[in-house]
Chains A and B, each alone.
Chain A
Amino acid sequence: MAEKAYTPRKRFGDRATDWLYPALTFFGAIVLWQLVVVATDIHAIVLPAPTTVVARMYSAFSVLAENTMPTVIAIVVGFLGALAVGLPLAILIAASSTFEKSCYPLLLGSQGVPKVALAPILIVWFGFGFLPKVLIAALIAFFPIVIDTVAGLRSIDPGYIYLTRSMGASTAKIYWRLLLPNALPHMFAGFKVAMALAIVGAIVGEMVGANNGLGYIVVVANGNLDMALVFAALVWLVAISLLLTGLVELIERISLPWSRKSRNQFMDHLRA
Chain B
Amino acid sequence: MIEISGVNKWFATKDGTVTALENIDLEVGKGDFVSVVGPSGCGKSTLMMCVAGLMPPSAGRIAIDNRPVAGPVTDVGIVFQDALLLDWRNVLDNVLFQIEMRDLSKADYIDRARALLKQVGLSGFENKHPWELSGGMRQRVALCRALVHDPPLLLMDEPFGALDTLTRDQMNIDLLHLCEGSNKTVLFITHSISEAIFLSDRVIVMSQRPGRVVEDIRISFDQERKLDVRSTPRFGEYEKRIYDTFRNLGVLSG
Contacts and interface: CB of A to CB of B under 8 A. Distances in A.
Interface of A: 1, 3-8, 157, 159-160, 162-169, 173, 177-178, 181-182, 256, 258-259, 261-262, 265
B54 A5 contact: no
B252 interface: no
Contacts of A8: 131-132
A265 B130 CA distance: 12
Contacts of A162: 49, 52, 54, 78, 80
Contacts of B72: 165-166, 168
Contacts of A168: 72, 74, 101-102
A222 to B, nearest CB: 48
A265 B135 CA distance: 14
Nearest to B88: A258
Nearest to B52: A166
Nearest to B166: A2
Interface in B46-101: 49, 52, 54, 72-74, 76, 78, 80, 82, 84, 86-88, 97-98, 100-101
Contact of A5 (B78, B84, B132): B132
Nearest to A6: B132
A101 B150 CA distance: 43
A5 B124 CA distance: 11
B14 to A, nearest CB: 20
Given A5-B125, A177-B100, A166 B87 contact: no
B236 interface: no
Contacts of B121: 1
Given A159-B84, A163-B80, A256-B88, A173 B101 contact: yes
Of A1, A6, A164, A166, most B-chain CB atoms within 10 Å: A166
Contacts of A164: 101
A218 B236 CA distance: 85
A120 B52 CA distance: 59
Nearest to A263: B131
Nearest to B99: A167
Given A261-B131, A262-B131, A167 B87 contact: no
B129 interface: yes
Given A5-B128, A5-B134, 5 more contacts: A5-B132, A8-B132, A162-B54, A167-B101, A177-B101
A257 to B, nearest CB: 8
Interface string B119-158: 0010001001111111011000000000000000000000
A157 B98 CA distance: 17
Given A177-B100, A177-B101, A3 B136 contact: yes
Contacts of B101: 164, 167-169, 173, 177
A116 B52 CA distance: 53
Of A1, A182, A265, most B-chain CB atoms within 10 Å: A1
Contacts of A258: 87-88, 129, 131
A157 B84 contact: yes
B84 A160 contact: yes
Q: 6 tightest A-B contacts by CB? A: A168-B74, A167-B101, A169-B101, A262-B131, A165-B72, A3-B134
B132 to A, nearest CB: 5
B52 A167 contact: no
